[in-house]
Structure 1
C-alpha cells in the first residue's frame, strides 16, 4: 500500500454529486422561506373580520348625540340659533335677600287705645281691600264721640243766642258790647266743635260714620281694623281680649305680586355696577337657593348713594314680578349683573 495515491481527476469526479445536492437544497430552502414571508405579509395586510353585533347598528356621529323631548327642551330654556358674531359680555354675582315691595306693604296699627274684641284674619290669609281684620272696643273713642255731640249742641245754642242778640241790637234793646260778646262766644264754641270733629277723624271715623253719629246720636265704641288694599297677611300680633296701644303693630299686609331683591355690592365692585346699570330697565338675572333650576328676571330700580360704614357695601335693589308667589320674603338670592368688558 505504500506509495499508493489518488489522482486529481478521480477526486473531482467524486465531489461533483455532493455539490449539486447542496445547491438544490439551498434553492429549496430559499423558496420555502420566501413563500413563508409572503404568507406572513399577506396576513398582516388583511383587515380583521368585524365582530358580529347583536344590537342595532349606530354610526359614530349618532353615538354622541343627546336627544331631549320637546317639553324638556322648553323647560330647560335650550334655544337653537345660527352661528354668528355677538357682543362679548362679562358678569359678576352678588348676594342678596328677597324683601316685600315696601310700596305695597302696610303695617297696620290702631289710632285709638282699646281691647281686642274680634279677630277675623289669620297669618297667611289673602284679604281684599277694606276687608275687616279685627274689631276693638275703645272707651276713648266713646268719650270722643260724646265730646263732639256736646260741642255740637253748644254750638247750636251759641248760634241761636247770637241771632237773638243781633235782633235785639237792631231793636236797640241791648248794646253793641253785648252783641259782640255773644258773637265771641259763638266763634269760640264753633272752634271747639270743629276740634271735636277733627278728633273723631284722627281716631279713624270717616264722614259717613260722623254723619250717622250726628243723625242718631248713638255712641259706638267699636273700632274696625280693615285692610288698606288687597294682599296677604304676612304678620299678625294680637289675640282676642288683649289690650293694644297706638304704638302696637297689629297686622302687616303685603301685595307680593311684585317683590324686591336687595343685594350688597362690595366697594371694589361699585364702579362695575354703576357702569352695568347705566341703561334704564336693564334686565338682571336672579337665582334663588330654593329653586336652583329656575332663572328669574328683574330690573334695577335703585342703586345706593352711600355705603354701609360697617360692611363697606352698597345696596342695589331689583324689582321682580312674582305672579306665582314662589318668591318669599327673606329668601336668599344671587343676582348676576352683566356688562360689556
Structure 2
C-alpha cells in the first residue's frame, strides 16, 4: 500500500487534535477536529467583514518614460565627433561629458575671445593714460568719460564671450563638450565617433531619462470609460515578474478617444525601485471600481476550496471546532471574493493551507 498519499492527512490530523475532554472515553463517537496551537503555526485565520462590492477592470498597459524626466541633447555647433563617452543603457550624472566635438565655429569664438581680451587690455591702458593726463590737466572730463565707456564696453564684450564658453562647454583648441543636462539613463543615441555634424542638424544626439519614476499608460475601451476615474486604486503585473505586483493610483485620465482603436488612455505614475520596470514592458492593469453599491461578506480568495462545481470554506466555530461550509460566490477577483450566502459578518475562516485542512476534515 502506498502510504505517502495519506501522510498529509495523518500529520494534519495530529496537528488538529480533537475537541474532547481529559482522557479517552471508550465507545464514544469520534470527536470533532479543532483549531489547536500547533495548527496555528501552519494556517492563518481571517475574520469576515461585510464590505461594499468592488468590481475589477483588467486593462492592457505599457511602461513608458516619465516625460517630466526626459531630456534631449542636441549639437550646439557643427563639427567632428572626436570622443564618445556614453552608450545606450549607461547611467550618467548631471554635468557628465557625453561626447567631445571639434568645430570650426568654436575656433571662431576662440578668436573672438582673444580679440576681446586684446581690446580690454588696450582699453585699460587707455584709461590709465587718460587718468594721468586728466590729473596733469592735459585731458578733459569728456576724455575721461569716453575712456570709461570704452573700458566698460570692452569688459562687457569679454564677459559675453566667456559666458558663451561656459554655456557651450568650450574646452580649448576648437573643442566643445556635450554634457548631460540631467541624471538618468541613456535611452536613445544617434551619434558615433568621427561622425560629421551639420550646423543645422535638428535631430537629438542623446535622449536621457530618469527611471526613478515611470508612467504606465493603459487603454480603456469606450464601454468601460464610466468605470475609471482619477484616484482609483490599481494593481499592475508584468510578464517579467509574475509573482510581483505594483500598486498605484490613476493620476490622469485623458478624456480623448483614439480615432483608430477607439480607446481612452489613463496614466499611472509609479515609483520604480531598483529600476525593475523598463520602458516598453507590457503590463496588465487591474483597476478597482465601484459596482452598484451592494455590500456583501468579503474573504481572501485563498480561503476558497473549489470541488465538484461548488465552493467551500473552512469555518472556525466559537468553540474552535473546524467545519467545512459551502458558500455561494457572487464575484471572485484576483485576491478577494464576495460571498452571496453562507457567511456572515464576524465569521472566522482559514485562509492559508486551507486545502490540507479541508482534505483532513473530509477524510473517511
TM-score by length of 1: 0.63
| Alignment partner of 1:330 out of 280, 293, 296 | 280
Tell whether 2:74 aligns with 1:125: no
Tell whether 2:68 aligns with 1:103: yes
| Alignment partner of 1:195 out of 150, 157, 160 | 160
| Alignment partner of 2:178 out of 216, 225, 228 | 225
- Structure 2 Cα separation of the partners of residues 55 and 184 of structure 1: 107
Please list, as runs of the form range in 1=range in 2, the aligned pairs for 1:1-341 lying within 5 A after superposition: 54-56=1-3, 81-205=46-170, 219-245=172-198, 247-266=202-221, 269-274=224-229, 277-278=230-231, 283-292=233-242, 294-304=244-254, 306-308=255-257, 310=259, 313-341=263-291
- Structure 1 Cα separation of the partners of residues 75 and 270 of structure 2: 32
Q: Deviations over 1:81-116 (max 9, x none)?
A: 233323321122333221022333332223232211
Structure 2, unaligned stretches of length 5 or more?
13-42, 292-364
The answer as to whether partners of 1:112 and 1:203 remain within 8 angstroms in 2 is: no
Q: Deviations over 1:178-218 (max 9, x none)?
A: 3333333233323322322232233235xxx7xxxxxxxxx
SS in 2 for 1:159: helix
Size of the aligned set, in residue pairs, is 256
- Structure 1 Cα separation of the partners of residues 136 and 56 of structure 2: 92
The answer as to whether partners of 1:96 and 1:335 remain within 8 angstroms in 2 is: yes
- Structure 1 Cα separation of the partners of residues 79 and 44 of structure 2: 61
The answer as to whether partners of 1:286 and 1:297 remain within 8 angstroms in 2 is: yes
Q: Deviations over 1:55-98 (max 9, x none)?
A: 44989x969x9xxxxxxxxxxxx986233323321122333221
SS in 1 for 2:52: coil
Q: Tell me by how many angstroms 1:242 deviates.
A: 0.5
- Structure 1 Cα separation of the partners of residues 95 and 210 of structure 2: 14
Q: Tell me by how many angstroms 1:315 deviates.
A: 3.2
- Structure 1 Cα separation of the partners of residues 189 and 87 of structure 2: 7
Q: Tell me by how many angstroms 1:154 deviates.
A: 0.9
TM-score by length of 2: 0.59
- Structure 2 Cα separation of the partners of residues 114 and 120 of structure 1: 17
C-alpha spacing 1:152/1:303, structure 2 compared with 1 (3 Å): farther
SS in 1 for 2:278: coil
Q: Tell me by how many angstroms 1:256 deviates.
A: 2.4
- Structure 2 Cα separation of the partners of residues 196 and 296 of structure 1: 51
The answer as to whether partners of 2:127 and 2:151 remain within 8 angstroms in 1 is: yes
- Structure 1 Cα separation of the partners of residues 138 and 4 of structure 2: 127
Q: Deviations over 1:240-276 (max 9, x none)?
A: 11012463322223332432112233455444322xx
Q: Tell me by how many angstroms 1:328 deviates.
A: 2.1
C-alpha spacing 1:308/1:183, structure 2 compared with 1 (3 Å): farther
Partner of 1:6: none
SS in 2 for 1:121: coil
Q: Which structure features the higher share of strand residues?
A: 2
Q: Tell me by how many angstroms 1:309 deviates.
A: 6.5
- Structure 1 Cα separation of the partners of residues 196 and 93 of structure 2: 26
Q: Tell me by how many angstroms 1:290 deviates.
A: 4.9
